A = this chain, B = another copy of it.
Amino acid sequence: MDNTMLQFPKGDQSSSLDQQSSSNKEKKLEKKQIMDILHDKSIYNVDLDVTKDQNRLTVLKQLLHFLPLTFGKGIVNISDLRNDPGRVVALIDSLSQFDDCKRKRENESLMTKMVVNNFLFGASVFNLGTERHHTLLPDIQSGKLLGCFAMTELGHGSNVRALETTATYDSEKNEFVINTPVRTATKWWIGNSAHAVIATVFARLIIDGVDNEVHAFLVPLRKSNGYDLLPGVKIGDLGMKFGLNGVDNGWIQFDNVRIPASNLLDKFGGVENGVYRSPISSPSKRFATILAQMITGRISICAGTIRNLKIGLAIACRYATKRLQFGPDLKSTENAIMDYPTHYLSLMPMVASVYAYDATRSYLAKKFQERTGEDEIHVLASGLKAFLTQYTTTSLLEMRRMCGGHGYWGLSRFGRLIASNDIGRTFEGDNTLLLQQVAKDLLTQFKKEYTSNKFTGTLKYLSKNTSLFMDRINPITTRRSDEKHILSLKFLLDAMEYRSSKLLIDSANTVAKNYKETKKPFDSWNVSLEILVHLAKAHTETIIVTKFIESIKAVQDRELKDSLKKLCQLYALCKIREDFEFFRNTNYLKNGKAIAIGKIISTLCFELSREAITLVEGFGNDEELLESPLGLADGDLYENICKKVGGPFSPANYLVTPSKL
């Protein structure tokens, strides 16, 4: 097939994905099926100290091996995004554990390339396309038709509504002409762009000189041999990145590239008899709907980043119990570094966070599966993505330090985990912008529900708290510093809810006041950003604590319940402590209580550090894929390090050829 003018088969739906997948719908994704593939050393564990180009070629080979065995066999399908998102999450969770530890530089390149092809490019066809486009899905998901997702441009990453690439309708030929009218319109950072033969290109749909804003178009890039570019298409290499160097990111320019009108992914807007038509009349709402389809990306990132946190913590905790350093004197046995408060005070809140996030992520996946509460899903997915990627990246950096020089070792995995996790803070929506979206959604709901004073869904907690601001905060409660009170889940939840309720009301007032002064909605929003971002974070933390508490209530096993309760107490108290500025300034906490919280956190960290190994085993990491010699389950630290260490330096290190190396 030559893709120059992609034509869609008509009426032949036999191979379409929806039908194919429905027969597999009942199967539950067995992670073991995925793991068995990844354990195959011949393809997935290659010893490579290579250039970036060779690295990418290896990842391509892995992808072309992986897709037919998984998507090709219906173990998972692009349509699961809608029908069974749990399978997608399970797939991401499995793949994000894969790190060919001999491939010393890259982590998650295979997963990222798979996500780009199947869940960005493929999902755009699935979500934004209509029946005729869906016939491509089987070939896309099995790797026969590699594609890329060309949204971001040199000049616009966050403000995608302002993209500059144009798709001008030619009514005579019933075609679109794709162009890069200015340099900043060059498509940028496009993953899979060395190997894609086709792209979903986001471009301004122009008919008779009228700009109908951004839509998505299928644009063939290469001939079917996989590398010769089609006329008018220019593609180049963006080179090395901080991480994910197994992924081929590039730039793309279009010079009068013609495509059939049928290549417009027209679910939310298209051309009928030369006239623009859309089921959604408001351009801003239409664009929001197009973007909203990408929400699964955020849920996937949450899954991947939590797994990174779990991998890092398993390594850091196991290392900390086996690495001894310093003792009472030179002759005594040395202490495990986990025994030092400086160590467990840092590590244990991270372990607690994993449990908190897991509970919330499960809730989100359930809601998403049920397709109930779209607003709540959007707020939670955006907030959680922003929150988790930031937390995980900074935590991994701390874990690296806590493993000392050994943590700087390539085979420790920390460098790669940091570098690959880091971009999660930017892609699929910059974190700061996502938090603003959360704040915006909350304020919109607040406005809607305020008149009725009947707060539902994500803002349910408000009904409890609005009265609180009218009265004074209970002066006895703000002073209670006894352990029983501080450790009670009621106090912890109350504190979280109080904060987000108060910030919501204060945010509404701040924006209103600033609007009064500036009379400009854009400016009044921007000058209020500090409190708005604070609100978004506080709300997300409230939901996390709520869902964590709910999940604990469902646990029967006494011992497990006790451990989880401790983790929940530690998580929530740390969040309160991190925001003492708010809690003290609002007088929600008095002096003595704040001091008591600090002490209780220390005690909880110490107690939980005694169970650290059991707790990280509860993460369900695949032990075979963990691989870091610093964190293997057998705990034979130095033996494992020495097993992985290299022999003599290669002659390539020397100026002259060594005689006897």
| Interface: A195 (CB within 8 A) | yes
Question: Nearest Cβ distance between residue A391 and chain B, in whole angstroms?
Answer: 13
Question: Nearest Cβ distance between residue A359 and chain B, in whole angstroms?
Answer: 27
| Interface: A30 (CB within 8 A) | no
Which of these, B156, B342, B408, contacts A325 with CB under 8 Å?
B156
A595 to B340, CA, bound (A): 35
A250 to B653, CA, bound (A): 12
- Structural contact, A242 and B584, CB atoms closer than 8 A: no
- Structural contact, A236 and B405, CB atoms closer than 8 A: no
| Interface: A328 (CB within 8 A) | yes
- Structural contact, B237 and A649, CB atoms closer than 8 A: yes
Cβ–Cβ < 8 Å partners of A560 in chain B: none
Cβ–Cβ < 8 Å partners of A394 in chain B: 394, 397
- Structural contact, A326 and B159, CB atoms closer than 8 A: yes
Chain B residue at minimum C-beta to C-beta distance from A606: B527
| Interface: A13 (CB within 8 A) | no
A537 to B396, CA, bound (A): 22
Cβ–Cβ < 8 Å partners of A595 in chain B: 585
Which of these, B159, B235, B324, B650, contacts A648 with CB under 8 Å?
B235
Of residues 333 to 381 in A, which have CB atoms within 8 Å of B's CB atoms? 334-335, 339-342, 345
- Structural contact, B580 and A404, CB atoms closer than 8 A: no
- Structural contact, B242 and A400, CB atoms closer than 8 A: yes
| Interface: A100 (CB within 8 A) | no
- Structural contact, B159 and A646, CB atoms closer than 8 A: no
Cβ–Cβ < 8 Å partners of A407 in chain B: 426
| Interface: A624 (CB within 8 A) | no
Question: Nearest Cβ distance between residue A564 and chain B, in whole angstroms?
Answer: 25
Chain B residue at minimum C-beta to C-beta distance from A103: B240
Question: Nearest Cβ distance between residue A214 and chain B, in whole angstroms?
Answer: 10
Cβ–Cβ < 8 Å partners of A156 in chain B: 325
Given the known interface contacts A393-B397, A595-B585, A638-B184, the answer about A415 and B646 at a Cβ–Cβ threshold of 8 Å is no
Chain B residue at minimum C-beta to C-beta distance from A337: B158
| Given A415-B419, A530-B602; 15 other pairs, CB 8 A cutoff | A51-B51, A57-B653, A161-B330, A162-B326, A236-B647, A242-B418, A248-B649, A251-B645, A328-B521, A394-B394, A397-B397, A405-B427, A580-B584, A584-B584, A585-B594
- Structural contact, B577 and A584, CB atoms closer than 8 A: no
Question: Nearest Cβ distance between residue A413 and chain B, in whole angstroms?
Answer: 10
Cβ–Cβ < 8 Å partners of A661 in chain B: 227
| Interface: A509 (CB within 8 A) | no
Query: How many residues on the A side are at the interface (Cβ–Cβ under 8 A)?
Result: 120
- Structural contact, A56 and B653, CB atoms closer than 8 A: yes
Which of these, B61, B104, B226, B405, contacts A189 with CB under 8 Å?
B405
Question: Nearest Cβ distance between residue A172 and chain B, in whole angstroms?
Answer: 29
Chain B residue at minimum C-beta to C-beta distance from A245: B410
Of residues 177 to 219 in A, which have CB atoms within 8 Å of B's CB atoms? 183-184, 188-189, 193-195
The 8 A-B residue pairs with the shortest CB-CB distance, nearest first, are A242-B415, A240-B410, A53-B652, A104-B240, A237-B646, A227-B658, A328-B522, A194-B649
Given the known interface contacts A328-B522, A408-B242, A426-B404, the answer about A577 and B587 at a Cβ–Cβ threshold of 8 Å is no
Query: Interface digits, A405-423 against B, CB 8 Å rule (1 contact, 0 not)?
Result: 1011111001100110011
Cβ–Cβ < 8 Å partners of A527 in chain B: 341
A241 to B154, CA, bound (A): 32
| Interface: A292 (CB within 8 A) | no
Chain B residue at minimum C-beta to C-beta distance from A533: B342
A339 to B526, CA, bound (A): 9
| Interface: A113 (CB within 8 A) | no
Question: Nearest Cβ distance between residue A326 and chain B, in whole angstroms?
Answer: 5
- Structural contact, B529 and A405, CB atoms closer than 8 A: no
Which of these, B239, B330, B521, B584, contacts A594 with CB under 8 Å?
B584
| Interface: A432 (CB within 8 A) | yes
Cβ–Cβ < 8 Å partners of A594 in chain B: 581, 584-585
A-B contacts, 16 listed (Cβ < 8 Å)? A158-B325, A162-B334, A225-B656, A226-B656, A227-B656, A235-B648, A236-B649, A241-B408, A241-B410, A241-B415, A242-B409, A326-B522, A328-B522, A401-B426, A584-B591, A584-B594
Question: Nearest Cβ distance between residue A38 and chain B, in whole angstroms?
Answer: 21
Cβ–Cβ < 8 Å partners of A641 in chain B: 154
Chain B residue at minimum C-beta to C-beta distance from A161: B330
| Interface: A470 (CB within 8 A) | no
Which of these, B104, B400, B411, B530, contacts A422 with CB under 8 Å?
B400
Which of these, B238, B408, B426, B660, contacts A228 with CB under 8 Å?
B660
The CB with the most chain B CB atoms within 10 A, among A154, A183, A240, is that of A240
A334 to B159, CA, bound (A): 10
Cβ–Cβ < 8 Å partners of A238 in chain B: 409, 645-646
A660 to B230, CA, bound (A): 11
Question: Nearest Cβ distance between residue A252 and chain B, in whole angstroms?
Answer: 11
Of residues 507 to 533 in A, which have CB atoms within 8 Å of B's CB atoms? 520-523, 526-527, 529-530, 533
| Interface: A274 (CB within 8 A) | no
Of residues 424 to 447 in A, which have CB atoms within 8 Å of B's CB atoms? 425-427, 430-432
Question: Nearest Cβ distance between residue A352 and chain B, in whole angstroms?
Answer: 18
Chain B residue at minimum C-beta to C-beta distance from A660: B228
